[in-house]
Amino acid sequence: MKTQSEEQATLSRGDFMRSLGMSSAALMAFYCMGTMTSCKSSDPVVTPTVPTPNPGTGVTGTTTGAALDFTLDLTNSDLSTLKTEGNSKTIGDVFVVRVKGGSYVALQKLCTHAQLEGLSYRLANDDIKCSNHGSEFKTDGSVNKGPATIALKKYTTVLSTDGNKLQVKA
């Protein structure tokens, strides 16, 4: 037969909290807020996932982070403007442009000078300008004019043979 101290030693954390008079709702609130953590090895391991955009938007795949790999359906009304030379769109972490001559360029969306959004494509100059501090970049991402001194990261783009799907990947 176990002594009272041995029985208390085998109480689970939840049983202990209930023995203090805490309701299940209060117990869950503590648990969810991170005040309590479980020590059981049987607890499931939660792996964070990168959200995948809704296919209804014409974007499928991973648009952020190092594993960036997504496809744009250029027939989708939200993305069809990218079929026109000079137009651009920010998708996740990427600035996608239909440049002069009809090819596509995908670059990081943040200017390397101050890590701010504000890039725009200038068709007449065939370059990219940051509206925040005036940095200018060539379409290959290299710096044309400062204050930025570091090139924009460039991603690989592959246009489908029918011209309706654009894949962008790191």
pLDDT of residue 56: 80
Strands 88-91 and 136-138: unpaired
Is 2.102.10.10 the CATH classification of the domain at 55-169?
yes
More confident site: 7 or 67: 67
Residue 39's pLDDT is 43
Q: What whole-number percentage of the chain has pLDDT above 90?
A: 66
CA nearest neighbour of 73 among 51, 96, 93, 100: 96
Query: Which pLDDT score is estimated for 36?
Result: 45
In this prediction, residues 13-37 reach a mean pLDDT of 50
Its sign, for the CA torsion 101, 107, 111, 112, is negative
Residue 108 pLDDT greater than 50, yes or no: yes
Q: Is the pLDDT of residue 83 over 80?
A: yes
Q: Is residue 37's pLDDT more than 70?
A: no
Burial grade of 70 (CB within 10 A; 0-12, 13-18, 19 or more): buried
- The mean pLDDT value for 136-148 works out to 96
Kindly tell me if the per-residue pLDDT of 87 is higher than 80: yes
pTM over 0.75: no
Q: At 167, is the secondary structure helix, strand, or coil?
A: strand
Predicted local distance difference test score (pLDDT) of residue 94:
97
Mean pLDDT in the chain?
81
Q: Write out the residue limits of the CATH 2.102.10.10 domain(s) in the chain.
A: 55-169
Residue 123 confidence (pLDDT) above 80: yes
| pLDDT band at 41; cut points 50, 70, 90 | very low
Tell me how far apart the alpha carbons of residues 169 and 62 are, in angstroms, rounded to a whole number.
9
Average of pLDDT values for 94-99? 97
In this structure, how many other beta carbons lie within 10 angstroms of the beta carbon of residue 11? 12
| Comparison of pLDDT for 132 and 41, the residue scoring more | 132
CA–CA gap between residue 165 and residue 32 (Å, rounded): 42
Name the residue with higher pLDDT: 53 or 100: 100
